[in-house]
Amino acid sequence: MLRYSPGGEPLWQPCAPCPIQKLRDGRFVLLFHNAQPLDIKENGWYPRDPMWVTVAREAPGVQENAGLYFTAPKVILYNDRKPDGPFKDTEICYPQFYEFGDACYVAYANKTSQIRINKVPPELIDDVGLPI
């Protein structure tokens, strides 16, 4: 299980993709749902709203947890949750993180009706407070 640090608390993720992306500056960005599945046998795929982000740095020579130390998670996306809106099932799926020039973006499916792209504010991917 991936943890916030070697021997630390686990990163919770229902059964859904949670990509990790290495940035040009060497940091890692992980998109995940930060929630234990409600019921592994019956509902292991949920909840998938909101989407969270955490940033990691790699500690050279540390094997446990792939040497990764993660920041506290921050919410990066919420589903619109509008009654009778297109996203009645508050589900954010298949996120991808992209770095273009000096900006970062998250592309994701909002249930099965749209693909959205959001620009990521830089403060969501800072690594203030990491021990390394």
- Per-residue pLDDT tens for 49-102? 788 999 999 999 999 999 999 999 999 987 766 544 455 556 788 899 999 999
Distance CA 81, CA 77 (A): 12
- Does a structural domain hold residue 80? yes
- Does a structural domain hold residue 58? yes
**Could you list the residue range(s) of the whole structural domain that residue 73 is in?**
20-121
* Predicted model pTM: 0.85
| Domains in the chain, number | 1
Cβ neighbours around 32 below 10 Å, total:
22
List Cβ neighbours of 1 (8 Å cut-off, separation of 6 or more): 10, 11
- Does a structural domain hold residue 101? yes
